């Protein structure tokens, strides 16, 4: 089964996850989502696979810096914001 990781090399959690996979002998397909952002259908599909809401995937500090209040934005609008500003993921 192929493994894909949506990776941000500047994120310590992402680096640790990639290292853990590689230490286990898994060579995942690496998608640097800041260089190759998600499309809206891709992000919706990923959220569905993960059984998560966009709010659960949101990077809170980056959202605050972008002036986004997760409590005041709809799921659909948050997904659009994440597509436009992938650092929010």
| 11 and 28 belong to one structural domain | yes
**Beta-carbon neighbour count of residue 42 at 10 Å?**
15
| 26 and 48 belong to one structural domain | no
Residue 12 to residue 9: CA distance in whole angstroms:
8
The pLDDT-based confidence of 45 (bands split at 50, 70, 90) is: very high
| 23 and 56 belong to one structural domain | no
Query: What residues act catalytically?
Result: 11
The pLDDT-based confidence of 1 (bands split at 50, 70, 90) is: confident
Domain that holds residue 27: 1-36
| 60 and 82 belong to one structural domain | yes
| 69 and 57 belong to one structural domain | yes
Alpha-helix residue ranges (DSSP H) falling in 1-89: 12-23, 40-50, 54-57, 60-65, 75-84
Quote the pTM value: 0.85
Residue 32 to residue 52: CA distance in whole angstroms:
21
- The answer for residues whose C-beta is within 8 angstroms of residue 39's C-beta and 6 or more apart is 83
pLDDT digits (tens, 9 = 90+) for 9-18: 999 999 999 9
| 65 and 78 belong to one structural domain | yes
| 31 and 45 belong to one structural domain | no
Percent of the chain residues past pLDDT 70, beyond the cut: 100
| 30 and 46 belong to one structural domain | no
| 43 and 64 belong to one structural domain | yes
Tokens of 63: 């959202």
């Amino acid at each position: 089964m192929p493994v894909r990781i949506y990776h941000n090399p500047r994120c310590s959690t992402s680096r640790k996850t990639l290292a853990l996979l590689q230490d286990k002998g898994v060579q995942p397909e690496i998608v640097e989502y800041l260089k190759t952002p998600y499309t809206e259908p891709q992000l919706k599909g990923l959220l569905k696979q993960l059984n998560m809401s966009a709010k659960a995937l949101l990077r809170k500090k980056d959202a605050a810096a972008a002036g986004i209040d997760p409590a005041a934005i709809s799921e659909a609008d948050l997904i659009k914001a994440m597509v436009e500003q992938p650092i929010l993921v």
